[in-house]
Structure 1
């Protein structure tokens, strides 16, 4: 079975549908909204199996409860897609501390909380797969998104550390997928005026969430002795 955080829309929802169609049982994790139920219904209409767990990744206790729910329901955890994320744009001169903290809480602490909750179970099993959703923003840096870049460099760093410490010695696969510009609706969430203009321009070249879901399925479909470490998936026209 596969746990997917941030599963109510965008890459999370597309990945849930793709993996369910490939035969995986899915635990859809998201904060409460009406979109998550629609994802579940779409999976079930296609003949797949899915359950919903309403939780906030920034709360460690809720992540631990998520894992216990998964174990009670399915008996084991095979995959975690650490996907819940927040991308906001602002200039340094804006000193947008509230937005900085939101990204740090979700993109850094949220990933750590999900890993902290899931990893002990995978170590007990001596099997499983953690896939962290990174970004090309964790490879290249541009103006207007310094904190977001920082959070995605963090994700890249912890993924490689996990791979060397956990995967190599315990048989637990660790992967990173770094999307380029994806049409997930993120640009509409940018409230800063200058940031919104940058986001709208970037989004003109975006590819779709399903393109990333294909990469997730590829990583999860490899034989036991193959670990997909790092995949970058970008629009053909993206030059960074």
Structure 2
């Protein structure tokens, strides 16, 4: 569903769509393309949002992601409201009764929102493709030993795509679990055990670190991914009964 232009030329093609291979119930995803040069203090004033004291790029992506979140909240919970922000942190605080996640990769922004009656949290991430040269440089910092073994068996193009997927899934996993556990974890504290090397598919993720009593090393979750405007977008959803999320990708 594409919505009428209502954002003063800043957002284009604002739409409610489900781009992933498996639909998750009781949640809404909104994505858009934004025009960085169209961001302004007037827009921030219009939506009663504090404008970040940052470069134009940051101001644009911040606003675009939150406008997606506001639209998703309106559609899913019939309540158009922006998520607030923790003090001394960029982490969003969602309105009572809701949970969600936002991401952006110029010029794309997206947000997913669900009711806490059905969901504990989401992790959504959008990443541009990592180049072959950069993938070789970053591999050891991002990949566990077992992931690096997979990486080393692939062609240069496949390896770069694999690293982009793994990086994005770990970002999504962190967004989903950090607010639930209040525990920091790094790239080597989780791993992607299986993943489809395609434009769309599934992955199985496993924790390598105890995060809380409920989230222990060895716990597995399913994630899914798709391609959006040349970028990779990954999603991890944590159901209210988190045991429902334990699944091996097929």
TM-score normalised according to structure 2 size? 0.36
Q: Per residue, is there more helix in 1 or in 2? A: 1
Greater relative contact order, per chain length (Cα 8 Å cut-off, separation 6+): 1
Q: TM-score scaled to structure 1, two decimals? A: 0.37
Q: Which protein shows a greater Rg?
A: 2
